[in-house]
Structure 1
Amino acid sequence: METRQTAILLVNTSTTNSTAPVSLAGRDAKFAGQILD
């Protein structure tokens, strides 16, 4: 799970044009990760 979040963060920092959808995906990933845990 941590690797997925790190990848999302890397994508988020590398793409400044689409930070909104990426950050939303990051929130979903964290939320799903908390539920799975």
Structure 2
Amino acid sequence: VLVRYMNYPGWGDGLRISVGTDSQVDTCLELLRDLL
């Protein structure tokens, strides 16, 4: 998992999270939804 700060014109600022497989992305999204 790679997390980095993102601030691009037109997109605003936030975090970019890079994860491996589609299954791992789904798991990461579920966990983030629980936290937020």
Normalising to structure 1: TM-score of the pair? 0.47
More helix by share: 1
More strand by share: 2
Normalising to structure 2: TM-score of the pair? 0.48
Which protein, 1 or 2, shows the higher relative CO under an 8 Å CA cutoff with sep ≥ 6?
A: 1
> Which structure has the larger Rg over C-alpha atoms?
2
